[in-house]
A and B are shown apart, each in its own frame.
Chain A
């Protein structure tokens, strides 16, 4: 049981870490508050499903199923998230702080509503089940183990790429843009372009994570891609003490571990399971408030330096 708890934590933890690490790049380094994270995740998952799904038949309401191999679907997921980031970032990135947060949140809600009501995309609220996925048995691997490994690889690759991106003159330009846009502009830097680049670059891994999520659950449906996902990754980012890639990963792992651990408890009655589910949400909320109010990581960091 412990083994399966660790494995699921690692699988979902690594997958959601891709989201928190990307959010960390946008927020901590780029200074952009994106409350529409789930939309890029959903764009990736739906793109993967549409590209790999067989053409519609019978009761299917979706219009397009390309029946392409999984890796084409995976690439399409990254491209879909990137395109969606360009479309949403272009008109909104001149907005600052909470205005950008509100706009991105609204974009995500609109996108969710379209997925729900436009049945030709992915069967509306029913979603698309039995999403195609590569079979790890070919390599002689257990399903969970293989997808855990895949999630970890995607997470490490994302972290490595972002680290490489920022430990460079480009990272310096990103920091300068975040610190003082007017000062950066007055030495001739195009800060609008830098902001859009960061916004788009960080959306790509989120799209890949969406494809991986579709493979793991073999289902894409609007109910999976609600604002709750966005809040989840934001809480994970705050828990981990934003600003570092490692912090973002640890925060996500801790939060996923906590949720999975509650799910593992063998409840006697349905009622007690329901209570546990509510208590889990309450505790997550309380944790979030504690971290924001007392900022334990910042204190530890300050203690370490003095």
Chain B
């Protein structure tokens, strides 16, 4: 088993003539198996687009994304997810007509989820077992008391945690989180930080896009900095904090190093 779980090689994404990701020679970086990678950079640097390229929501114009030896370019979002990749979205996505609990239940691989099982009524046993799993995930993100609520009653921060719960139950091998702390209150941020370090300890590979550097730098073991779609810097959190190019482009001169 190679040490690299995810590899981007010369990845370029163009929308008409605008190059959103790729910079001059295409975006190239490796993600270490079991690593915790922080992905940072100014607004519009291409962080979320990079997530979309990895998860199959967008297809690269050029270059390849390889996940554990599999080239992802011809795979659908669902197929990539099936390989063990989980992700959340910059704007949280919820299933509006479902309850909080059902939103998480959708995340589970369900053997009795087809039309035939529904007609034969053969799903109740499996469903009961899976409900326990979903409730445990809701407990972890602090939403257990809201499980029968409609998702339209959740706040923006709670929706983010709901998305995390939906991915937690899937036990992905690699989890991509897009600004998980945005709009999330300090208590929940504490819970989130705990969840992420637990996942990290269990060997899950994590990639996190985040502007909350205090949160990110305490968790990440390496950082990739993007600017204008290209790679600006890459290294350990402490080196990135001191990198003059990163300070000029993103952190700002008065950043406490």
A contact set with B: CB distance below 8 Å: 161, 164-166, 168-173, 175-176, 178-180, 182-191, 197, 201
B173 to chain A, nearest CB (A): 13
- Bound-complex Cα distance A134 to B123 (A): 38
- Asked if residues B98 and A187 are in contact (CB atoms below 8 Å), the reply is no
- Asked if residues A173 and B113 are in contact (CB atoms below 8 Å), the reply is yes
Determine the chain A residues whose CB is within 8 A of the CB of B87 once the complex forms.
186
- Asked if residues B118 and A187 are in contact (CB atoms below 8 Å), the reply is no
- Asked if residues B119 and A164 are in contact (CB atoms below 8 Å), the reply is yes
Closest to A168 in B: B118
- Asked if residues A170 and B117 are in contact (CB atoms below 8 Å), the reply is yes
Determine the chain A residues whose CB is within 8 A of the CB of B98 once the complex forms.
172, 175-176, 179
Closest to B124 in A: A168
- Asked if residues A169 and B110 are in contact (CB atoms below 8 Å), the reply is yes
Given contacts A180-B93, A180-B95, A188-B170, are A170 and B113 in contact (CB under 8 A)? yes
Q: Which 6 A-B pairs have the closest CB atoms?
A: A168-B118, A185-B77, A183-B93, A170-B118, A188-B81, A179-B95
Determine the chain A residues whose CB is within 8 A of the CB of B118 once the complex forms.
164-166, 168-171
Q: Does B109 contact A (CB under 8 A)?
A: yes
Determine the chain B residues whose CB is within 8 A of the CB of A183 once the complex forms.
89, 93-95
- Bound-complex Cα distance A165 to B109 (A): 19
Closest to B99 in A: A172
In this complex, how many residues of chain B approach chain A with their Cβ under 8 Å: the count is 36
B56 to chain A, nearest CB (A): 8
Determine the chain B residues whose CB is within 8 A of the CB of A201 once the complex forms.
115
- Bound-complex Cα distance A206 to B118 (A): 20
Determine the chain B residues whose CB is within 8 A of the CB of A190 once the complex forms.
78
- Asked if residues B96 and A179 are in contact (CB atoms below 8 Å), the reply is yes
- Bound-complex Cα distance A188 to B115 (A): 17
B86 to chain A, nearest CB (A): 8
- Bound-complex Cα distance A164 to B122 (A): 11
Contact of A187 among B81, B97, B114 (CB under 8 A): B81
Q: Does B105 contact A (CB under 8 A)?
A: yes
- Asked if residues B113 and A165 are in contact (CB atoms below 8 Å), the reply is no
Q: Does B106 contact A (CB under 8 A)?
A: yes
Determine the chain B residues whose CB is within 8 A of the CB of A161 once the complex forms.
119
Closest to B97 in A: A175
Determine the chain A residues whose CB is within 8 A of the CB of B127 once the complex forms.
169
- Asked if residues A172 and B102 are in contact (CB atoms below 8 Å), the reply is yes
Contact with A along B59-98 (1 / 0, CB 8 A): 0000000000000000011100110001101000111111
Given contacts A161-B119, A179-B98, are A169 and B112 in contact (CB under 8 A)? yes
- Bound-complex Cα distance A165 to B110 (A): 15
Best-buried of A166, A173, A183 by chain B (most CB within 10 Å): A183
